[in-house]
Homo-oligomer: A and B are copies of this chain.
Amino acid sequence: MDEFEIISRYFVEPIGYSREHVLVGPGDDCAVAKVPDGFELCVSTDTLIEDVHFPKDAAGDVVVSRALGANLSDLAAMGAEPYGFTLALTLPSYSDSWLSSFSTRLNELVKHYKLPLLGGNLARGQLSVTINIMGLVPHGQALLRSGAGSGDDIYVTGHLGNAAGGLAIVKGEVDADCTELVESYFSPVPRILLGQQLRNVASAVIDISDGFAADLGHLCKASGCGARVSLESIPVSEALKDLFGSEIAQSMAVKGGDDYELCFTVPTRNADVIAQLIRDQEVLVSHVGKIRPELDVEIIDAKGVRISGQSGYVHF
């Protein structure tokens, strides 16, 4: 089977979802797409590699859920609406079952997020998935990391550390069968709608991919400020506490990667707006601390003892 047949069988036909702005889809030298007047384009790219970002022999649906979830999470953190993506897939060999699982799940996600596939590339090599994702934001409304100011409140979505707990299960480091945690790792849910609702409300937004402490550190660095966070207020799931105990669970919530939740700051003048927005949300939103002028990120436990934040995963 040559790559043109694979592309046609698993990608062009099953992933035929399109939108009005896609004037030319996959198949020409480039796709051609319109960007509506008054909108700006948000662009990000992310590669997931076997044995680094997902386990060896992971099923196709798991790989694509993680890859697309991670990329969509970047759009969420800009307050952007999904616009389209390209997919560069590298496979060690042809496998119908793997490709079927990958493209069936991809088709579900494409429809759910209204995210047309604009083009792609297929080559032979170590299993990896590179997605280039694009979103739209109204002019001037992109949510950056750099807008936080002293006194702003800090919030996070969801339960942190669940993905790290799921990874520990998947790697066999703990002997447990907890769907909630494994799903958090395998199928992260990008906070696309909340991201859009935070436009003109939040002062800074980042998604939590490297770990809460590391990513809050990135937000603070970009904003030229620091943060003070109460360890007790960081949302930790019962499942994570049951499996690892409260102390380790809290540590995983602070340092664990791959959560793809949002961390955002809100000026006190928007306190009422955010309170209403949080009441209307289906997703958990927790207040965890305050931005302050001192440059470091301080995490304080119930006894007032300072816990040092750790940086995230290091590749080299």
Interface set of A (CB-CB < 8 Å, partner B): 1-3, 6, 23-24, 27-35, 37, 40-47, 49, 52-53, 73-75, 77-78, 80, 84, 86-88, 90-91, 93-94, 118-126, 128, 130, 132-135, 137, 142, 144-146, 205-207, 222, 311, 314-316
- Pick the contact of A40: B33, B311, B314 (CB < 8 A): B33
Query: Which residues on the B side are within 8 Å of A47 (C-beta)?
Result: 88, 90, 121, 123, 130
- Pick the contact of A45: B49, B80, B88 (CB < 8 A): B88
Chain B residue at minimal CB-CB distance from A205: B29
In the complex, are the beta carbons of A29 and B207 less than 8 A apart? Answer: yes
> Are A125 and B49 CB-contacts (below 8 A) given A86-B43, A130-B130?
yes
Query: Which residues on the B side are within 8 Å of A77 (C-beta)?
Result: 29-30
In the complex, are the beta carbons of B121 and A46 less than 8 A apart? Answer: yes
Q: How many copies does the complex hold?
A: 2
Chain B residue at minimal CB-CB distance from A38: B37
Residue with the highest number of chain B CB atoms closer than 10 Å, among A6, A29, A32? A29
- Pick the contact of A130: B84, B88, B205 (CB < 8 A): B88
In the complex, are the beta carbons of B121 and A130 less than 8 A apart? Answer: yes
Query: Which residues on the B side are within 8 Å of A135 (C-beta)?
Result: 30
Query: Which residues on the B side are within 8 Å of A121 (C-beta)?
Result: 45-47, 130
Query: Which residues on the B side are within 8 Å of A30 (C-beta)?
Result: 42-44, 74-75, 77-78, 80, 133, 135, 142
Within the complex, the shortest CB–CB distance from A39 to chain B, in Å, comes to 8
- Pick the contact of A42: B32, B46, B88, B128 (CB < 8 A): B32
Chain B residue at minimal CB-CB distance from A1: B316
In the complex, are the beta carbons of A126 and B125 less than 8 A apart? Answer: yes
